[in-house]
């Protein structure tokens, strides 16, 4: 089957299982997930979705998220969007939405629980921040890989006539990243995107070197992405104020002028200095943390990263990663956090050996393991370790030891970083960078993965199962469903997200 036909077939299989075109309110995707806003959550057939070959799992948050994996999701999403448009165009009547009373009865409990979990002001703010930076990840990855290739060629002395061009390709985006952050920020906060980009562009304009603020001469790029974010948010509020008070006849002239003028002056004579100090403090703190307490810090970061992901708090790290990449050329935090996925892989291998009779779980692990090795952890988390309960904890222990290993070498002076955010596991190798040569950096990162695999395996094999849990799951599940979630006691609850852990 041709690739296009395969992607369209996947989209066509998913659409009816989420309630059809009329039930789809919004469509977006990140690195691994198709994110859908749905009118009626009760129309979704979770189990049938999980059975679609390309679907690795489903996650319910503020949107309904279908895990397809990197690469696949970027190809399936346009096909899905096209099918939704075709479905809406061919339908003359709305989808069977039922009455308001029926919808309230079916979804009230679920919506209340989800709002309590995921709609706190802090989490909503973090999602907005993530929505600003996530669209930049493909460019960060592409430019990061080119930067790594260019560094390798320079060190080897090869293709000297080509390396300047590669350097320009790798650095061009980072030189203007503040503009893209400003554009996305204004778009996310309800302003005119191009005005957000225009104000943020002031930060990287070379002419700011002729301006003094707070007794210091400004430097182009001072404040970086944090300054751009703050400038664009300010521009949004100025623009909204102007829309309310400026007469309609003058709006097209006055509003954009005042937005750029007021926001620009505040940016130049305030935000650039303040954001610059904050950015410097972030870089200094990250260096201090890993140079003085690297092993302990790495242990904590690697061990608690997955719980942070489950709570949605990991999104707060995105602007920190981006700031470090902008300042130092790489983020030293991402390779440590990537060890959490290594712990999951080791734990899954232990579960595979501890449950020799449960072919359904073993089949899930076999299908999800390649994705796990490449850093896509959702299938192993939601299909294996989290529903079982205790193996999720022991997987975090594996991640802690892997993070401690990488952190230890940072403490000894061997910085290991990533030139982009997004990839993890083996997929992070092309993006690695450090301060002691590529060979040393790769060796330390590979060592951390190995430690994470082994620690996760050992912790899970010996401590991941109570007698009751082993007795419950080490039985033949045929012809039961092929996921752990369906075999565990939480299946009766009908919750399509990660089921309640089975006895920790």
Residues with catalytic roles: 30
Q: How do 416-418 and 216-217 pair as beta strands? A: unpaired
Helices (H), 18-99: 46-51, 72-90
Closest among 341, 301, 303 to 321, alpha carbons compared: 301
In 10 A of CB 211, how many CB atoms?
15
The burial of 121, by beta-carbon neighbours within 10 Å (0-12 exposed, 13-18 middle, 19 or more buried), is given as exposed
Q: Is the dihedral of CA 313, 142, 31, 69 positive or negative?
A: negative
On whether the CB atoms of residues 330 and 418 are closer than 8 A, the answer is: yes
Q: How far is C-alpha 420 from the geometric centre of its chain's CA atoms?
A: 12
3-class secondary structure, 30? coil
78-89 exposure pattern, b = at least 16 Cβ within 10 A, e = fewer: ebbeebbeebee
CA distance 265 to 178: 17
Most distant pair of Cα atoms in the chain: their distance: 76
φ/ψ of residue 25, rounded to 5:
-95, -40
The Cα-based distances of 270 to 227, 278, 380, 384 in angstroms read: 10, 12, 47, 50
Closest among 332, 441, 450 to 398, alpha carbons compared: 450
C-alpha triplet 98, 102, 103: angle, nearest 5°: 80
- 3-state SS record for 179-246: HHHHHHHHHHCCCCHHHHHHHHHHHHCHHHHHCEECCEECCCCCCHHHHHHHHHHHHHHHHHHHHHHC
């Amino acid at each position: 089957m041709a690739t296009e036909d395969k992607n369209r077939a996947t989209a066509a299989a998913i659409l009816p299982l989420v309630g059809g075109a009329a039930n789809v309110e919004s469509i977006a995707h990140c690195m691994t997930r198709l994110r859908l806003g749905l009118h009626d959550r009760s129309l979704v057939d979770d189990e049938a979705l999980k059975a679609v070959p390309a679907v690795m799992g489903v996650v319910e948050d503020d949107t309904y998220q279908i895990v397809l994996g990197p690469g696949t999701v970027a190809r399936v999403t346009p096909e899905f969007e096209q099918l939704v448009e075709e479905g809406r165009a061919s339908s003359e009547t709305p989808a069977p939405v039922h009455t308001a009373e029926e919808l309230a009865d079916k979804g009230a409990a679920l919506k209340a629980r989800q709002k309590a979990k995921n709609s706190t002001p802090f989490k909503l703010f973090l999602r907005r921040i993530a929505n600003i930076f996530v669209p930049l990840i493909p460019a960060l990855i592409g430019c990061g890989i080119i930067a790594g290739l260019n560094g390798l060629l320079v060190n080897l002395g090869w293709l000297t006539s080509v390396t300047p061009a590669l350097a320009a390709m790798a650095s061009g985006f980072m030189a203007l990243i503040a503009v893209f952050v400003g554009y996305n920020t204004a778009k996310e906060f309800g302003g005119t995107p191009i005005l957000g980009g225009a104000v943020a562009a002031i930060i990287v304009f070379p002419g700011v070197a002729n301006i003094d603020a707070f007794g210091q001469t400004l430097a182009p790029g001072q404040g970086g992405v944090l300054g751009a974010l703050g400038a664009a948010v300010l521009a949004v509020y100025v623009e909204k104020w102007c829309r309310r008070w400026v007469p309609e006849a003058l709006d097209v002239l006055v509003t954009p002028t005042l937005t750029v003028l007021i926001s620009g002056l505040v940016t130049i004579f305030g935000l650039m200095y303040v954001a610059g100090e904050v950015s410097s403090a972030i870089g200094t703190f990250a260096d201090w943390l890993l140079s003085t307490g690297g092993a302990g810090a790495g242990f904590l970061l690697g061990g608690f990263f997955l719980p942070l992901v489950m709570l949605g708090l990991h999104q707060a790290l995105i602007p920190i990663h981006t700031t470090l990449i902008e300042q130092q050329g790489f983020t030293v935090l991402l390779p440590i956090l990537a060890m959490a996925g290594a712990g999951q892989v080791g734990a899954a291998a232990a579960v595979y050996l501890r449950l020799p009779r449960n072919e359904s779980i073993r089949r899930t692990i076999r299908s999800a393991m390649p994705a796990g090795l490449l850093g896509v952890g959702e299938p192993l988390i939601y299909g294996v370790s989290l529903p079982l309960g205790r193996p999720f904890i022991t997987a975090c222990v594996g991640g802690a030891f892997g993070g401690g290993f990488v952190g230890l070498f940072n403490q000894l002076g061997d910085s290991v970083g990533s030139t982009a955010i997004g990839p993890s596991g083996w997929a992070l190798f092309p993006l690695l960078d450090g301060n002691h040569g590529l060979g040393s950096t790769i060796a330390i990162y590979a060592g951390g993965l190995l430690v994470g695999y082994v620690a996760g395996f050992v912790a899970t094999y010996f401590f991941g199962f109570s007698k009751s849990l082993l007795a419950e799951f080490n039985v033949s599940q045929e012809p039961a469903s092929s996921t752990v979630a369906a075999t565990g006691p939480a299946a009766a609850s009908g919750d399509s997200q990660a089921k309640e852990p089975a006895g920790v």
